Structure 1
């Protein structure tokens, strides 16, 4: 396992102008494209990261959590050790029970999730990316996003970055298997094609925790000329995941393999028919320095789930976007202007019914039709005051519409959401000002920005028993520094966000024991620190080197003068998170070493009456990579000491009045092994 590489490792990335790097025309996913992306991100006045596929392929990767856990500022955990993950950046989507909210999930700049930024991290397949870009907060403005969390962008592999054939087979305890075959071919007529087929299967270490994922991803590109290229992306995915549910703290500490009794009785599960995603993007180089992109996407998702209720869900999302990058000199100074627009729309149909294990006849409880649409305009200008100093100004405008029609078919049908029709319109204007200063040697930079963010509620939960929700807004100030080289590098950012109408949960008035409802909390504060350190050093008389990486995150999220909870901590996320990787690399290709993961205890409920204990676990990887990467093998041991700990918790309002089965166990001790062949 290699450690996380910052934006400056291994390359001289001093920013002297804004012109894009062009190598033999447009070639997406190549090393030249990666180097260009690294240079481009260093022009952003905020904390950004790139994780290359070469940095995580040396060990087992069950899902996006195994990639993002090495990135400071990103909270990513696999509840119950399964393939999907709960992901939060800077406190985005804290009350979401799983997946991600307030983070835009992208592939090559086009949305992979829903039109209202409510997504599922399982769609972010790490092995479906040549590299992954993480934009925190306002750093995502260049893709039109203005949410608190920012954006995660998967840059697709192509035949240029992955020519030839690759077969990878992994296995582990609890009947875990993962197999993937992928191939890329470049044709002489300007056509190239890439395809990947994979399957993941496992029984899980808990009762009722089996999971299966089958994926096909492919793209076909055609170069009409050295300045014009189009690429079509096709994704087909099928998931079947049993859901063991959350348990109490006593159960977790005595036997984390047990399932929630209700989930076990219901055989709780979620099963998709093939989820499909189509996207097409066309890029033009205009002159020697400008670039124009036009894209469109179409996504269909169908699934059936069953827990305490049965749900059938059917949704379609689609949209178009454009982005224009203009590089010029302005009064003798380098200047880059980026502007763009996007439109997205989605519809969904939810049917809720009694679960199969209830006695009596099948009964439908409610039928919810929902619609969502968003229009975004954005622009950002970077002006080089001097070769060492850039000033950045930008803004994003959003118009969003939400509509829902809940047909409550029985008296029980309106328990989740109010019966009847509702709609709401939301609009926001989100400016941003920033600065990037190259302060000297070691590629050192200082950056700062102040920005606004805007997040309308999703298309189902915007209308609750408390009425229509307002959009979540925030003002964020960020300052940081980055720099260094392969021997020692750093990324450090400190931020504070003043949130208004944060989308959380509150108890039902007069009935604190009832399930909580979505709610706007008038005022909250998110303060955090993101620290990434990395480097390598020789081992003296022993040949080879030790590469190391430290990712530390401080999350200080609080209510602000709340009438019910005062200045209590916001629940659901540890205040301190850290991961340290130490990997020895021998010149002959052998590698191995431990990584350590730490988390402090965290408040589980808004009343701060229940605390999840902190934890520390040790993992170890040993492997061999053959010359020219013809093959590689590895053994990956997780949780060596077999610690029992909670990796995440359900969001709670007040543990004194609610059931306390809200803890999701982390993976117990397990062993994985893998083989990868390239030809």
Structure 2
């Protein structure tokens, strides 16, 4: 131990001292972000030994995120697994600023943070957010395919809204979501689980994990099979996951980890309905249903950490992501085969404990490069499920996203930290239609676009510890969202749209407060967005040429809102029984800034108000029960603001038992108790002209799910 070491009771530890003791990552302070599950600790004059149980990784992550000068949160997946945990809607519930909805309970998720990827929802891709597994991205120049968003084998999930994800080289308006995989240390032993429920839901899972006798090596393996007949008729889906996680510590200075994920799936998504159809029979599905098939997505990530000395360390990461897609293999008369192979190189140098202007200073330099090694899409003509001829072939290989960042945390005093950062992002897009049988277009767009765009993205934040239980924070930042390759061209038209990156300047201010019985936060933000990537009028009608509705750069827009969350311990007795209530509220206010066509109309596709709450009783012996609610206001589905999705209030309840020794557990989860007919999500159109058009995805009706897990 270092000199002047002392022992104190954990209840007397201040938050700042606890953070230092747990090893707060340098990059956390540097830019208000986080730098992964294990980060170098700032150098301090004394070491504090805590007489308490060591915190789990999810709890450590929550403590680290308290150094972020903005909205950031952690989801412990063990808490989600007290009920059904099948998709992103299940896992991302109760998170401020986040909207997540699964259409008909499938893996087709609409996910948005602060209005990111506002109306891009194609039952296969998620836009406007950088997704990572174990700190390495699955998001590339081709966007993020959704097959890994089942969140299988995940220990905990980090959500960093907006530029608060700076430390992950994430510069998107929506920020980043990082899924941290179970290891042999977080999930030792063997486990099997079986789940079943309404609409043919089945899920089977087996895992094993452990640590070698020397303690230097840990391993984790998991297999999962999921299946569902579907809420809407003729909308089944199924998939299988394989996960392998191996970590090894060579010595006190060098350690490495290898994670392999593989998933295959088939998904048939129910068709969109009119409101009248949804109210009459939400299980209806017309002939316009869509489908996707993934014969196998493979993600391989490797991260090696070298501790250079007491003040610095180096992290080297690699990721290979092979994500093929057979889109529309049934139903469609124009299916497409999409092939994408990304390779990411990540390098991070962390330096802590230096002095700048007489103040303690921590610095991080990071580099991230994701390249589309091989990407293309082949469109076919199809008759009765048989592909008859090639329609068009488009190539994307060579596109890339590269980010170089420098960030610093200057500790002005015991209470105040000034974080600053500057990123250089270089976007390369190479999109070319090499073969096409489509007629030439009269629009002034080329058949190939290749460009390199360079932008600077600064960030400045201030975190003030007003009292041991109250933090005040604020930051200003710039975000850059490059267009994904297929937004520029795929198989539908014979030209390439030369889309520009979307950029925004954002300011946010907020506070975090905690007490013995309450823990909450509230943030206000405002983003000035230029060239927002939306699906709207790309070219107006001219003579006999109809208007073109497509992906395009919009005029200037505003995204602003409120993100609030509060968890309260309402009651506890001497036996350890307790009653708690958690809640989250998000206010979305997105609109045009004097657009020539739409004026100051609201941007469609997301509710202005979203509220979620859960009242949970937990008995010391392991039994628990709770009731929950999700309320969404109505919202427009067209840019002309003539037709709205209705508001909805959805109630649920769950019951379960977790053996105190954690050997086995079981749950019973009731969803949509009132059997409410509602729209889980909606497509977006230019002008509905006040007519009830088929743009609505029905949410699940009344349903029951149950599961049992046994550990040995």
The reply to whether TM is greater than 0.5 is yes
Residue number among 185, 208, 220 corresponding to 1:160 in the alignment: 185
Question: Are 1:509 and 2:536 counterparts?
Answer: no
Residue number among 311, 334, 343 corresponding to 1:318 in the alignment: 343
Cα distance between partner residues in 2 of 1:173 and 1:11: 49
CA contact (8 A) 1:15 1:42 kept: no
Question: Are 1:374 and 2:404 counterparts?
Answer: no
TM-score normalised by L of structure 1: 0.92
Cα distance between partner residues in 1 of 2:690 and 2:523: 39
How has the CA–CA distance of structure 1 residues 539 and 145 changed in structure 2, closer, same or farther, with 3 Å as cutoff? closer
CA contact (8 A) 1:77 1:86 kept: yes
> Cα RMSD over matched residues?
2.6
Aligned positions of 1:244-283 closer than 5 A: 244-263=270-289, 268-283=290-305
- Which deviates further from its counterpart, 126-135 or 475-484? 126-135
CA contact (8 A) 1:48 1:133 kept: yes
| Deviation, structure 1 residue 412 | 5.3
| Deviation, structure 1 residue 127 | 3.5
- Which deviates further from its counterpart, 479-488 or 63-72? 479-488
Question: Are 1:625 and 2:650 counterparts?
Answer: no
Secondary structure of 1:525's aligned partner: strand
| Deviation, structure 1 residue 41 | 1.7
Cα distance between partner residues in 2 of 1:533 and 1:35: 17
User: Across the two proteins, how many residue pairs are aligned to each other?
Assistant: 662
Extract unaligned runs of 5+ from structure 1: 1-8
Question: Are 1:187 and 2:212 counterparts?
Answer: yes
Extract unaligned runs of 5+ from structure 2: 1-9, 25-35, 40-53
Cα distance between partner residues in 1 of 2:235 and 2:419: 48
| Deviation, structure 1 residue 657 | 9.6
Cα distance between partner residues in 2 of 1:340 and 1:20: 25
Render the CA deviation track for 1:502-526: whole Å, top value 9, x for unaligned: 0112224207976611111120000
CA contact (8 A) 1:222 1:229 kept: yes
Question: Are 1:355 and 2:376 counterparts?
Answer: no
Question: Are 1:615 and 2:643 counterparts?
Answer: no
| Deviation, structure 1 residue 18 | 7.7
Match of 1:654 in 2: 687
Cα distance between partner residues in 2 of 1:213 and 1:129: 17
Residue number among 405, 430, 442 corresponding to 1:403 in the alignment: 430
Cα distance between partner residues in 1 of 2:284 and 2:445: 35
CA contact (8 A) 2:430 2:451 kept: yes
CA contact (8 A) 2:298 2:323 kept: yes
Cα distance between partner residues in 2 of 1:658 and 1:11: 63
Aligned positions of 1:163-562 closer than 5 A: 163-189=188-214, 190-263=216-289, 268-306=290-328, 307-330=332-355, 333-346=359-372, 347-357=374-384, 362-371=388-397, 372-411=399-438, 420-442=447-469, 444-462=470-488, 467-485=497-515, 487-507=517-537, 508-510=539-541, 516-538=549-571, 544-562=577-595
Cα distance between partner residues in 2 of 1:562 and 1:10: 56
Cα distance between partner residues in 1 of 2:444 and 2:225: 37
How has the CA–CA distance of structure 1 residues 658 and 231 changed in structure 2, closer, same or farther, with 3 Å as cutoff? farther
TM-score normalised by L of structure 2: 0.88
Cα distance between partner residues in 2 of 1:412 and 1:215: 42
How has the CA–CA distance of structure 1 residues 153 and 12 changed in structure 2, closer, same or farther, with 3 Å as cutoff? farther
How has the CA–CA distance of structure 1 residues 410 and 183 changed in structure 2, closer, same or farther, with 3 Å as cutoff? same
| Deviation, structure 1 residue 82 | 1.1
Cα distance between partner residues in 1 of 2:506 and 2:383: 47
| Deviation, structure 1 residue 356 | 3.4
How has the CA–CA distance of structure 1 residues 40 and 483 changed in structure 2, closer, same or farther, with 3 Å as cutoff? same
Render the CA deviation track for 1:71-92: whole Å, top value 9, x for unaligned: 0100100012213311110010
Render the CA deviation track for 1:583-608: whole Å, top value 9, x for unaligned: 10111111001100000000000000
Residue number among 103, 127, 143 corresponding to 2:129 in the alignment: 103
How has the CA–CA distance of structure 1 residues 206 and 604 changed in structure 2, closer, same or farther, with 3 Å as cutoff? same
Cα distance between partner residues in 1 of 2:536 and 2:248: 52
Secondary structure of 2:684's aligned partner: coil
- Which deviates further from its counterpart, 96-105 or 377-386? 96-105
Secondary structure of 2:323's aligned partner: strand
